Amino acid sequence: MDTIKKLLKKEIVRYVIAGGATTVVNIVSFYLLRMFTGLSRSGANVIAISLAILFAFFANKFFVFTESSKKDAVNLYPLSEPGFLPCWSK
């Protein structure tokens, strides 16, 4: 159990899990839409992909990128400031 907790502390592991779950959401929703609604493949695919994208957004927001990873992103923020760009313009 401790090994699982250690693995889940790593962002890359959580990212792979969320990606796999997103794939499952896409495939299952496509299958269910085709079997129970009579939608065309294209229509079911558009809806399934939309559901998967929505799921991926929330999975990444609440499961993958935690407060510690947001703190790392804030540390990189000054590099994107407009004042930093003239150093690269020569």
Q: What is the mean pLDDT, run by run of 10 residues, along the chain of 90 residues?
A: 87 94 98 95 97 95 78 54 52
pTM: 0.71
**Nearest 5 degrees, angle CA 74-CA 80-CA 85?**
155
pLDDT at residue 72 in the model: 53
Query: According to the model, what pLDDT value does residue 32 have?
Result: 97
* Radius of gyration, alpha carbons of the chain: 19
Angle at 4 between CA 75 and CA 54, to 5 degrees: 60
Predicted local confidence at residue 5, as pLDDT: 87
What sign does the dihedral 12-13-17-18 (CA atoms) show? negative
pLDDT at 69: 56
pLDDT score for 4: 87
